[in-house]
Amino acid sequence: MDVLLLVGGKGTRLKSVVKDRPKPMAEINGRPFLDKLIEYAASFGHNRFILCAGHMWEYLADYYRYSDLPYKMVFSIEKSALGTGGAVRKAEKHILTEDFLVMNGDSFCPVDLETFKAFHHRNKSEVSVAVTKSKDIKDYGLIGFDDSYRINNFEEKKESPEEGFINAGVYLFNKRVLKRIPKNLKCSLEKNIFPSIAGENFFAYPVDSRVLDIGTPIRYDLARKYFSR
Identify the pLDDT of residue 12: 82
Q: Please give the Cα distance from 33 to 35 (Å, whole number).
A: 5
Q: Is 87 part of any domain?
A: yes
* Amino acid identity, position 177: V
157 is catalytic: yes
Sign of CA dihedral 7, 10, 16, 18: positive
Phi, psi of 125 (to 5 degrees): -80, 145
pLDDT at residue number 61: 92
Task: From residue 12, give the alpha-carbon distance in Å to each of 17, 23, 136.
Answer: 10, 9, 20
Return the pLDDT at 41: 98
Return the pLDDT at 158: 60
**Distance from C-alpha of 91 to C-alpha of 172, rounded to nearest angstrom:** 15
**Is residue 14 in some structural domain?**
yes
pLDDT in tens, the chain (229 residues): 999 999 998 878 888 888 889 999 999 989 999 999 999 999 999 999 999 999 899 999 999 988 888 999 999 999 999 999 999 999 999 999 999 999 999 999 999 999 999 999 999 999 999 999 987 766 677 899 999 999 999 987 666 657 889 999 999 999 999 999 999 999 999 999 999 999 999 999 999 999 999 989 999 999 999 998 7
As for how many domains the chain has, the answer is 1
Q: Which of 157, 158, 186, 191 is catalytic?
A: 157
Could you give the dihedral angle defined by the CA atoms of residues 73, 104, 109 and 98, in that order, rounded to the nearest 10 degrees?
-60
Q: Using DSSP, state whether 40 is helix, strand or coil.
A: helix
State the CB neighbour count (10 A cutoff) for residue 206.
16
C-alpha atoms less than 13 angstroms from C-alpha of 217 in its C-beta half-sphere:
5
- DSSP-assigned letters across all residues of 80-132: S--HHHHHHHHGGGG--SSEEEEEETTEE----HHHHHHHHHHTT-SEEEEEE
In a domain, 192, yes or no: no
Give domain status of residue 145, yes or no.
Answer: no
- The continuous run of DSSP H or E covering 28 comes out as strand 27-28
| Residues 6 or more apart in contact with residue 173 via CB below 8 angstroms | 88, 99, 100, 101, 102, 126, 127
Q: Give the C-alpha separation, 137 to 161, whole Å.
A: 8
We report the CATH number of the domain holding residue 99 as: 3.90.550.10
pLDDT at 160: 60
Let me know if residue 84 belongs to a domain. Answer: yes
Q: Is residue 154 one of the residues assigned to a domain?
A: no
Q: Which helix (H) or strand (E) holds 50?
A: strand 48-53
Pairing of strands 31-32, 27-28: antiparallel
Alpha-carbon span 190 to 203, nearest angstrom: 14
Give residue 83's domain range: 3-132+169-186+199-227
The verdict on residue 146 lying in a domain is: no
In a domain, 155, yes or no: no
